[in-house]
Amino acid sequence: MDPTLLGALGVGAMLVLLMFRVPIAFCMAAVGFVGMILRVGWPEGRAFDLARGFRAAFAYLSFEPFAFVANFSLVTLPMFLMMGYVAYHAGFTGDVYNTVRVWFGRMKGGLAIASVVGCAAFAAVSGSSLATSAAMGKLAVPEMLRRKYHPGLATGVVAASGTLGALIPPSVLLILYGVFTEQSIGRLLIAAMIPGVLSALIYMAMIWVRCALNPELGPPSEAATWRTRVVSLKGTWSIILLFTLVMGGIMLGIVTPTEAAAIGALGAWILGFLAKRLDRSTSSEAITETARQTANIFAIILGAKIFVGFISLTGFAGDLTGWATGLDLHPLVVLLAVSLVFIFLGTFMDPLGIMLLTLPLVTPVIEHLGYDLVWFGIIMVKFLEIGLITPPVGLNVYILKGVVGRSVPLDVIFKGITWFLMMDIVTLAILILLPQITLWLPAYLLDGR
Protein backbone atom coordinates (compact mmCIF):
# COMPACT_ATOMS: atom_id res chain seq x y z
CA MET A 1 0.00 0.00 0.00
CA ASP A 2 1.19 3.50 -0.78
CA PRO A 3 2.62 4.94 2.51
CA THR A 4 1.20 8.43 1.94
CA LEU A 5 -2.27 7.02 1.27
CA LEU A 6 -2.01 4.88 4.40
CA GLY A 7 -1.03 7.93 6.47
CA ALA A 8 -3.97 9.93 5.10
CA LEU A 9 -6.36 7.03 5.82
CA GLY A 10 -4.99 6.84 9.36
CA VAL A 11 -5.69 10.53 9.99
CA GLY A 12 -9.18 10.10 8.50
CA ALA A 13 -9.87 7.08 10.70
CA MET A 14 -8.80 9.13 13.72
CA LEU A 15 -11.31 11.86 12.94
CA VAL A 16 -14.12 9.34 12.38
CA LEU A 17 -13.46 7.63 15.72
CA LEU A 18 -13.33 10.98 17.49
CA MET A 19 -16.68 11.99 16.02
CA PHE A 20 -18.09 8.80 17.58
CA ARG A 21 -16.74 10.05 20.93
CA VAL A 22 -14.07 7.36 21.32
CA PRO A 23 -11.53 8.66 23.89
CA ILE A 24 -8.60 10.36 22.17
CA ALA A 25 -5.97 8.17 23.89
CA PHE A 26 -7.55 4.96 22.58
CA CYS A 27 -8.08 6.51 19.13
CA MET A 28 -4.43 7.39 18.67
CA ALA A 29 -3.14 4.13 20.15
CA ALA A 30 -5.46 1.93 18.07
CA VAL A 31 -4.94 3.77 14.78
CA GLY A 32 -1.19 3.97 15.36
CA PHE A 33 -0.87 0.26 16.22
CA VAL A 34 -3.00 -0.99 13.31
CA GLY A 35 -1.31 1.49 10.99
CA MET A 36 2.14 0.16 11.92
CA ILE A 37 1.03 -3.39 11.21
CA LEU A 38 -0.28 -2.39 7.79
CA ARG A 39 2.73 -0.24 6.93
CA VAL A 40 5.38 -2.83 7.81
CA GLY A 41 3.39 -5.90 6.81
CA TRP A 42 2.12 -4.50 3.52
CA PRO A 43 4.97 -2.69 1.75
CA GLU A 44 4.54 -1.46 -1.79
CA GLY A 45 4.65 -4.16 -4.46
CA ARG A 46 4.63 -7.10 -2.02
CA ALA A 47 2.05 -9.42 -0.48
CA PHE A 48 0.66 -8.66 2.96
CA ASP A 49 2.62 -10.32 5.78
CA LEU A 50 0.58 -10.08 8.99
CA ALA A 51 3.22 -11.74 11.20
CA ARG A 52 5.89 -9.31 10.04
CA GLY A 53 3.64 -6.35 10.75
CA PHE A 54 2.76 -7.62 14.25
CA ARG A 55 6.41 -8.20 15.14
CA ALA A 56 7.35 -4.66 14.11
CA ALA A 57 4.39 -3.06 15.92
CA PHE A 58 5.00 -4.98 19.15
CA ALA A 59 8.73 -4.23 18.98
CA TYR A 60 7.88 -0.53 18.85
CA LEU A 61 5.36 -0.81 21.71
CA SER A 62 7.84 -2.69 23.89
CA PHE A 63 10.30 0.19 23.98
CA GLU A 64 9.41 3.57 22.46
CA PRO A 65 6.31 4.63 24.49
CA PHE A 66 7.96 3.79 27.82
CA ALA A 67 11.22 5.46 26.81
CA PHE A 68 9.29 8.61 25.95
CA VAL A 69 7.20 8.87 29.15
CA ALA A 70 10.35 8.15 31.17
CA ASN A 71 11.55 11.60 30.04
CA PHE A 72 12.62 13.48 33.17
CA SER A 73 11.03 16.69 31.87
CA LEU A 74 7.57 15.12 32.17
CA VAL A 75 7.94 15.09 35.96
CA THR A 76 6.91 18.75 35.76
CA LEU A 77 3.33 17.76 34.88
CA PRO A 78 2.23 16.04 38.12
CA MET A 79 4.23 18.53 40.19
CA PHE A 80 2.58 21.61 38.66
CA LEU A 81 -0.84 19.94 38.80
CA MET A 82 -0.32 19.14 42.47
CA MET A 83 0.74 22.72 43.20
CA GLY A 84 -2.50 23.98 41.65
CA TYR A 85 -4.82 21.53 43.40
CA VAL A 86 -3.17 22.05 46.79
CA ALA A 87 -3.36 25.84 46.37
CA TYR A 88 -7.05 25.55 45.47
CA HIS A 89 -7.97 23.29 48.39
CA ALA A 90 -5.97 25.49 50.74
CA GLY A 91 -8.10 28.44 49.62
CA PHE A 92 -5.23 30.52 48.24
CA THR A 93 -6.95 31.15 44.90
CA GLY A 94 -10.13 32.18 46.68
CA ASP A 95 -8.11 34.68 48.71
CA VAL A 96 -6.79 36.29 45.53
CA TYR A 97 -10.27 36.55 44.04
CA ASN A 98 -11.62 38.14 47.23
CA THR A 99 -8.77 40.65 47.25
CA VAL A 100 -9.32 41.67 43.65
CA ARG A 101 -13.09 41.83 44.24
CA VAL A 102 -12.55 44.29 47.08
CA TRP A 103 -10.29 46.49 44.92
CA PHE A 104 -12.31 46.42 41.69
CA GLY A 105 -15.85 45.73 42.90
CA ARG A 106 -16.92 49.41 42.91
CA MET A 107 -16.14 49.75 39.19
CA LYS A 108 -18.75 49.03 36.54
CA GLY A 109 -18.13 45.43 35.64
CA GLY A 110 -15.69 45.25 38.55
CA LEU A 111 -16.58 41.71 39.61
CA ALA A 112 -16.13 40.47 36.04
CA ILE A 113 -12.73 42.19 35.89
CA ALA A 114 -11.89 40.61 39.24
CA SER A 115 -12.84 37.23 37.76
CA VAL A 116 -10.31 37.69 34.96
CA VAL A 117 -7.58 38.46 37.51
CA GLY A 118 -8.70 35.56 39.69
CA CYS A 119 -8.55 33.15 36.74
CA ALA A 120 -5.09 34.46 35.83
CA ALA A 121 -3.92 33.93 39.42
CA PHE A 122 -5.29 30.39 39.51
CA ALA A 123 -3.69 29.71 36.13
CA ALA A 124 -0.36 30.85 37.56
CA VAL A 125 -0.34 27.89 39.95
CA SER A 126 -2.34 25.23 38.12
CA GLY A 127 -1.53 25.19 34.39
CA SER A 128 -4.95 23.72 33.57
CA SER A 129 -7.78 25.54 31.78
CA LEU A 130 -10.49 23.12 32.85
CA ALA A 131 -9.43 23.24 36.51
CA THR A 132 -9.34 27.06 36.36
CA SER A 133 -12.88 27.26 34.95
CA ALA A 134 -14.28 24.79 37.47
CA ALA A 135 -12.64 26.42 40.47
CA MET A 136 -13.45 30.02 39.53
CA GLY A 137 -16.96 29.08 38.46
CA LYS A 138 -17.69 28.05 42.05
CA LEU A 139 -16.21 31.27 43.44
CA ALA A 140 -17.13 34.02 41.01
CA VAL A 141 -20.32 33.17 39.13
CA PRO A 142 -22.67 32.94 42.17
CA GLU A 143 -21.30 36.26 43.47
CA MET A 144 -21.87 38.04 40.13
CA LEU A 145 -25.37 36.62 39.74
CA ARG A 146 -26.20 37.74 43.28
CA ARG A 147 -25.03 41.25 42.32
CA LYS A 148 -27.43 41.27 39.33
CA TYR A 149 -24.78 40.83 36.64
CA HIS A 150 -26.06 39.74 33.25
CA PRO A 151 -25.86 35.89 33.26
CA GLY A 152 -24.08 35.89 29.89
CA LEU A 153 -21.31 38.15 31.18
CA ALA A 154 -21.07 36.39 34.55
CA THR A 155 -20.57 32.96 32.98
CA GLY A 156 -18.83 34.04 29.77
CA VAL A 157 -16.03 35.82 31.60
CA VAL A 158 -15.19 32.75 33.69
CA ALA A 159 -15.40 30.29 30.78
CA ALA A 160 -13.20 32.52 28.61
CA SER A 161 -10.76 33.57 31.33
CA GLY A 162 -10.41 29.95 32.35
CA THR A 163 -8.58 29.40 29.07
CA LEU A 164 -5.74 31.50 30.49
CA GLY A 165 -4.76 28.34 32.35
CA ALA A 166 -3.53 26.96 29.02
CA LEU A 167 -1.24 29.93 28.42
CA ILE A 168 -0.10 31.61 31.64
CA PRO A 169 2.85 29.62 33.02
CA PRO A 170 3.12 27.02 34.29
CA SER A 171 1.13 25.56 31.38
CA VAL A 172 0.57 21.83 30.90
CA LEU A 173 0.13 22.31 27.16
CA LEU A 174 3.36 24.26 26.78
CA ILE A 175 5.29 21.66 28.76
CA LEU A 176 4.05 18.89 26.48
CA TYR A 177 4.65 21.03 23.40
CA GLY A 178 8.24 21.51 24.51
CA VAL A 179 8.76 17.78 25.09
CA PHE A 180 7.25 16.71 21.75
CA THR A 181 8.98 19.43 19.67
CA GLU A 182 12.25 19.29 21.66
CA GLN A 183 12.07 22.98 22.52
CA SER A 184 13.24 24.48 25.81
CA ILE A 185 10.41 24.28 28.35
CA GLY A 186 11.89 27.19 30.32
CA ARG A 187 11.99 29.35 27.18
CA LEU A 188 8.38 28.46 26.34
CA LEU A 189 7.12 29.27 29.85
CA ILE A 190 8.91 32.63 29.86
CA ALA A 191 7.68 33.41 26.33
CA ALA A 192 4.09 32.87 27.47
CA MET A 193 4.18 35.49 30.22
CA ILE A 194 3.62 38.65 28.15
CA PRO A 195 1.00 37.06 25.82
CA GLY A 196 -0.83 35.74 28.90
CA VAL A 197 -0.91 39.15 30.56
CA LEU A 198 -1.89 40.76 27.26
CA SER A 199 -4.83 38.36 26.88
CA ALA A 200 -6.07 39.17 30.37
CA LEU A 201 -5.70 42.94 29.88
CA ILE A 202 -7.64 42.84 26.60
CA TYR A 203 -10.45 40.91 28.33
CA MET A 204 -10.51 43.46 31.15
CA ALA A 205 -10.55 46.45 28.79
CA MET A 206 -13.44 44.99 26.82
CA ILE A 207 -15.45 44.35 29.99
CA TRP A 208 -14.85 47.89 31.24
CA VAL A 209 -15.92 49.48 27.92
CA ARG A 210 -19.05 47.34 27.61
CA CYS A 211 -20.15 47.98 31.18
CA ALA A 212 -19.41 51.69 30.88
CA LEU A 213 -21.71 51.84 27.84
CA ASN A 214 -24.33 49.57 29.41
CA PRO A 215 -24.11 49.64 33.23
CA GLU A 216 -26.86 47.03 33.58
CA LEU A 217 -24.45 44.36 32.31
CA GLY A 218 -22.28 44.68 35.41
CA PRO A 219 -23.54 47.08 38.09
CA PRO A 220 -20.94 48.32 40.59
CA SER A 221 -20.81 46.98 44.13
CA GLU A 222 -20.51 49.04 47.27
CA ALA A 223 -17.19 50.80 47.71
CA ALA A 224 -14.76 49.29 50.20
CA THR A 225 -12.76 51.41 52.61
CA TRP A 226 -9.03 51.83 52.07
CA ARG A 227 -8.41 49.95 55.30
CA THR A 228 -10.41 46.98 53.98
CA ARG A 229 -8.48 47.08 50.71
CA VAL A 230 -5.11 47.14 52.40
CA VAL A 231 -6.05 44.35 54.81
CA SER A 232 -7.28 42.22 51.88
CA LEU A 233 -3.81 42.26 50.33
CA LYS A 234 -2.60 39.74 52.87
CA GLY A 235 -4.61 37.13 50.97
CA THR A 236 -2.39 37.40 47.91
CA TRP A 237 1.03 36.65 49.35
CA SER A 238 0.76 32.85 49.09
CA ILE A 239 0.05 32.83 45.35
CA ILE A 240 2.64 35.55 44.71
CA LEU A 241 5.25 33.58 46.66
CA LEU A 242 4.54 30.35 44.79
CA PHE A 243 4.64 32.06 41.38
CA THR A 244 7.87 33.85 42.32
CA LEU A 245 9.50 30.63 43.47
CA VAL A 246 8.59 28.86 40.25
CA MET A 247 8.95 31.45 37.49
CA GLY A 248 11.52 33.60 39.30
CA GLY A 249 13.78 30.59 39.68
CA ILE A 250 13.40 29.67 36.01
CA MET A 251 13.93 33.22 34.71
CA LEU A 252 17.03 33.74 36.86
CA GLY A 253 18.46 30.40 35.79
CA ILE A 254 18.65 29.17 39.36
CA VAL A 255 16.54 26.04 38.76
CA THR A 256 15.35 24.01 35.80
CA PRO A 257 11.60 23.82 35.07
CA THR A 258 11.50 20.33 36.60
CA GLU A 259 13.17 21.52 39.79
CA ALA A 260 10.90 24.57 39.86
CA ALA A 261 7.84 22.33 39.64
CA ALA A 262 9.01 20.25 42.58
CA ILE A 263 9.74 23.40 44.61
CA GLY A 264 6.30 24.80 43.75
CA ALA A 265 4.49 21.62 44.81
CA LEU A 266 6.45 21.39 48.06
CA GLY A 267 5.91 25.11 48.71
CA ALA A 268 2.15 24.74 48.27
CA TRP A 269 2.03 21.92 50.84
CA ILE A 270 4.16 23.84 53.33
CA LEU A 271 2.13 27.04 52.98
CA GLY A 272 -1.14 25.11 53.25
CA PHE A 273 -0.11 23.40 56.47
CA LEU A 274 1.38 26.57 57.97
CA ALA A 275 -1.90 28.37 57.29
CA LYS A 276 -3.74 25.38 58.90
CA ARG A 277 -5.97 25.09 55.84
CA LEU A 278 -5.18 21.50 54.88
CA ASP A 279 -6.59 18.52 56.73
CA ARG A 280 -6.80 14.85 55.87
CA SER A 281 -9.87 15.33 53.66
CA THR A 282 -8.60 18.27 51.60
CA SER A 283 -5.14 16.72 51.28
CA SER A 284 -6.66 13.48 50.05
CA GLU A 285 -8.77 15.35 47.49
CA ALA A 286 -5.73 17.25 46.19
CA ILE A 287 -3.71 14.05 45.79
CA THR A 288 -6.60 12.16 44.17
CA GLU A 289 -7.32 14.93 41.66
CA THR A 290 -3.63 15.21 40.82
CA ALA A 291 -3.35 11.46 40.25
CA ARG A 292 -6.51 11.33 38.13
CA GLN A 293 -5.49 14.25 35.92
CA THR A 294 -1.92 12.93 35.57
CA ALA A 295 -3.21 9.51 34.52
CA ASN A 296 -5.47 11.07 31.89
CA ILE A 297 -2.63 13.14 30.47
CA PHE A 298 -0.15 10.27 30.35
CA ALA A 299 -2.70 8.00 28.67
CA ILE A 300 -3.03 10.59 25.89
CA ILE A 301 0.77 10.96 25.73
CA LEU A 302 1.20 7.20 25.25
CA GLY A 303 -1.46 7.10 22.55
CA ALA A 304 0.11 10.09 20.82
CA LYS A 305 3.56 8.50 20.84
CA ILE A 306 2.19 5.39 19.09
CA PHE A 307 0.38 7.53 16.53
CA VAL A 308 3.51 9.63 15.93
CA GLY A 309 5.47 6.42 15.28
CA PHE A 310 2.93 5.38 12.66
CA ILE A 311 3.00 8.79 10.96
CA SER A 312 6.80 8.69 10.87
CA LEU A 313 6.76 5.29 9.18
CA THR A 314 4.41 6.49 6.43
CA GLY A 315 6.34 9.69 5.69
CA PHE A 316 2.98 11.47 5.57
CA ALA A 317 4.25 14.51 7.52
CA GLY A 318 7.09 15.03 5.04
CA ASP A 319 4.74 14.72 2.08
CA LEU A 320 2.36 17.16 3.71
CA THR A 321 5.22 19.62 4.22
CA GLY A 322 6.25 19.30 0.59
CA TRP A 323 2.70 19.83 -0.58
CA ALA A 324 2.10 22.87 1.66
CA THR A 325 5.35 24.57 0.70
CA GLY A 326 4.83 23.74 -2.97
CA LEU A 327 1.64 25.80 -3.08
CA ASP A 328 3.74 28.96 -3.33
CA LEU A 329 1.58 30.73 -0.78
CA HIS A 330 2.69 33.38 1.69
CA PRO A 331 3.64 31.73 5.02
CA LEU A 332 0.98 33.80 6.78
CA VAL A 333 -1.71 32.26 4.55
CA VAL A 334 -0.51 28.77 5.48
CA LEU A 335 -0.54 29.77 9.17
CA LEU A 336 -4.13 31.00 8.86
CA ALA A 337 -5.12 27.74 7.17
CA VAL A 338 -3.57 25.82 10.06
CA SER A 339 -5.54 28.01 12.49
CA LEU A 340 -8.80 26.99 10.82
CA VAL A 341 -7.86 23.33 11.35
CA PHE A 342 -7.27 23.96 15.06
CA ILE A 343 -10.55 25.82 15.45
CA PHE A 344 -12.46 23.07 13.60
CA LEU A 345 -10.95 20.32 15.74
CA GLY A 346 -11.64 22.41 18.83
CA THR A 347 -15.37 22.08 18.25
CA PHE A 348 -15.33 18.40 19.25
CA MET A 349 -11.91 17.62 20.82
CA ASP A 350 -10.03 18.55 23.98
CA PRO A 351 -6.99 20.82 23.50
CA LEU A 352 -4.42 18.27 24.67
CA GLY A 353 -5.68 15.74 22.15
CA ILE A 354 -5.68 18.33 19.36
CA MET A 355 -2.11 19.35 20.09
CA LEU A 356 -0.68 15.85 20.29
CA LEU A 357 -2.64 14.73 17.22
CA THR A 358 -1.55 17.62 15.02
CA LEU A 359 2.04 18.26 16.16
CA PRO A 360 3.63 15.54 13.99
CA LEU A 361 1.80 16.95 10.96
CA VAL A 362 1.94 20.69 11.55
CA THR A 363 5.36 21.24 13.13
CA PRO A 364 7.43 20.23 10.06
CA VAL A 365 5.37 22.60 7.89
CA ILE A 366 5.75 25.51 10.30
CA GLU A 367 9.48 24.92 10.75
CA HIS A 368 10.03 24.68 6.99
CA LEU A 369 8.25 28.01 6.51
CA GLY A 370 10.83 29.65 8.79
CA TYR A 371 8.67 30.35 11.83
CA ASP A 372 10.21 30.21 15.31
CA LEU A 373 8.87 27.10 17.08
CA VAL A 374 8.79 28.83 20.48
CA TRP A 375 6.66 31.61 18.99
CA PHE A 376 4.44 29.05 17.25
CA GLY A 377 3.96 27.21 20.54
CA ILE A 378 2.33 30.31 22.03
CA ILE A 379 0.23 30.87 18.90
CA MET A 380 -0.86 27.25 18.92
CA VAL A 381 -1.97 27.45 22.54
CA LYS A 382 -4.00 30.58 21.72
CA PHE A 383 -5.71 28.61 18.94
CA LEU A 384 -6.43 25.84 21.42
CA GLU A 385 -7.84 28.39 23.88
CA ILE A 386 -10.33 29.47 21.24
CA GLY A 387 -11.29 25.83 20.73
CA LEU A 388 -12.06 25.51 24.45
CA ILE A 389 -14.94 28.01 24.14
CA THR A 390 -16.04 27.42 20.54
CA PRO A 391 -19.49 25.84 20.00
CA PRO A 392 -20.91 23.25 19.65
CA VAL A 393 -18.66 21.66 22.29
CA GLY A 394 -16.38 24.17 24.00
CA LEU A 395 -15.16 22.09 26.94
CA ASN A 396 -14.73 25.10 29.23
CA VAL A 397 -18.36 26.05 28.62
CA TYR A 398 -19.61 22.59 29.54
CA ILE A 399 -17.35 22.46 32.61
CA LEU A 400 -18.83 25.77 33.74
CA LYS A 401 -22.37 24.61 32.92
CA GLY A 402 -21.82 21.67 35.25
CA VAL A 403 -20.79 24.09 38.00
CA VAL A 404 -23.67 26.61 37.64
CA GLY A 405 -26.34 23.98 36.99
CA ARG A 406 -29.75 25.20 35.89
CA SER A 407 -29.23 28.79 37.01
CA VAL A 408 -27.87 29.79 33.57
CA PRO A 409 -28.98 28.10 30.29
CA LEU A 410 -26.26 26.77 27.99
CA ASP A 411 -27.22 29.06 25.10
CA VAL A 412 -26.81 32.11 27.36
CA ILE A 413 -23.27 31.02 28.25
CA PHE A 414 -22.36 30.58 24.58
CA LYS A 415 -23.80 34.01 23.75
CA GLY A 416 -21.78 35.52 26.58
CA ILE A 417 -18.64 33.94 25.09
CA THR A 418 -18.99 35.83 21.78
CA TRP A 419 -17.28 39.04 22.89
CA PHE A 420 -14.40 37.11 24.43
CA LEU A 421 -13.92 35.11 21.22
CA MET A 422 -13.57 38.40 19.34
CA MET A 423 -11.00 39.60 21.86
CA ASP A 424 -9.04 36.36 21.39
CA ILE A 425 -8.92 37.06 17.66
CA VAL A 426 -7.61 40.57 18.39
CA THR A 427 -4.92 39.12 20.68
CA LEU A 428 -3.93 36.54 18.07
CA ALA A 429 -3.64 39.22 15.39
CA ILE A 430 -1.32 41.24 17.64
CA LEU A 431 0.87 38.24 18.47
CA ILE A 432 1.11 37.13 14.83
CA LEU A 433 1.88 40.57 13.45
CA LEU A 434 4.30 41.42 16.27
CA PRO A 435 6.20 38.20 17.12
CA GLN A 436 8.71 40.18 19.18
CA ILE A 437 6.04 40.52 21.88
CA THR A 438 6.44 36.79 22.45
CA LEU A 439 10.15 36.40 21.81
CA TRP A 440 11.56 39.50 23.53
CA LEU A 441 11.42 38.34 27.16
CA PRO A 442 13.09 34.91 26.71
CA ALA A 443 15.74 36.52 24.48
CA TYR A 444 16.42 39.21 27.08
CA LEU A 445 16.53 36.89 30.08
CA LEU A 446 18.15 33.80 28.56
CA ASP A 447 20.28 35.19 25.74
CA GLY A 448 21.23 38.51 27.31
CA ARG A 449 19.91 40.64 24.47
DSSP 19-70: HTT--HHHHHHHHHHHHHHHHHHS-TTS---HHHHHHHHHHHHTTHHHHHHT
- Among residues 190, 188, 189, which one has the least CA distance to residue 445? 190
Answer whether residue 348 shows pLDDT above 80: no
Tell me: pLDDT of 294 over 60: yes
Instruction: Please report the beta strands in 203-353, taking only residues with DSSP state E, as ranges in sequence order.
Output: none
* Mean predicted confidence (pLDDT) in 139-156: 88
Percent of the chain past pLDDT 70, that is, above it, reads 95
Contact 381, 387 (CB under 8 A): no
Average per-residue pLDDT in the chain? Answer: 84
Q: How far apart are CA 270 and CA 82, in angstroms?
A: 13
Number of alpha carbons in the 13 Å side-chain half-sphere of residue 308 = 21
Q: What local confidence, expressed as pLDDT, does residue 447 receive? A: 74
- As a whole number, mean pLDDT of residues 173-179 equals 88
How confident is residue 205, by pLDDT bands cut at 50, 70 and 90?
very high
Radius of gyration of the chain (CA): 23
Mean per-residue pLDDT, 160-181: 85
pTM listed for this prediction: 0.82
Q: Where are the domains of the chain?
A: 73-295
In the predicted model, what is the mean pLDDT of residues 31-53?
A: 79
More confident residue, 303 or 393: 303
Residue 350 has pLDDT above 80, yes or no: no
Q: How far apart are the first and last CA of the chain?
A: 51
The alpha carbon of residue 53 and the mean position of all alpha carbons in its chain are separated, in whole angstroms, by 36
Q: Is residue 248 pLDDT above 70, yes or no?
A: yes
pLDDT digits over 191-201, tens only? Answer: 999 999 999 99
Q: Which residue has the higher pLDDT, 444 or 342?
A: 444
pLDDT of res. 423: 93
Helix axes 129-146, 151-161, angle to 10 degrees: 160
Which amino acid type is present at position 111? Answer: L
Between residues 283 and 1, the one the model is more confident about: 283
- Is residue 303 within 8 A of residue 68, CB to CB? The reply is no
Comparing C-alpha atoms, which of 149, 151, 169 is closest to residue 159?
151
Q: Which of 7-16, 46-55, 89-98, 417-426 has the highest mean pLDDT?
A: 417-426
Amino acid 165 reads G
CB 203 within 8 A of CB 160: yes
User: Once rounded to an integer, what is the mean pLDDT over residues 42-51?
Assistant: 71
CA distance 203 to 274: 35
User: Which range has highest mean pLDDT (23-27, 227-231, 265-269, 335-339)?
Assistant: 265-269
pLDDT at 430: 94
- 435 versus 25: the higher-pLDDT residue is 435
Tens digits of residue pLDDT in 398-425: 778 887 888 888 888 888 898 999 999 9
pLDDT of residue 207: 93
The crossing angle, in degrees rounded to 10, of helices 351-368 and 24-41 is 50
Poorest-pLDDT segment among 163-172, 189-198, 305-314, 319-328: 319-328
Residue 189, pLDDT above cutoff 60: yes
- Give which of 40, 161, 72, 70 is closest to 112, Cα–Cα: 161
Output the CA angle 239-230-236, nearest 5 degrees: 5
**145: region left, alpha or beta (phi > 0 left; psi from -120 to 50 alpha):** alpha
Please report which confidence band the pLDDT of residue 202 belongs to, taking 50, 70 and 90 as the band edges. Answer: very high
80-126 per-position pLDDT tens digit: 888 888 888 888 877 887 888 888 778 888 889 988 988 888 777 76
Please tell me the predicted confidence (pLDDT) of residue 321.
65
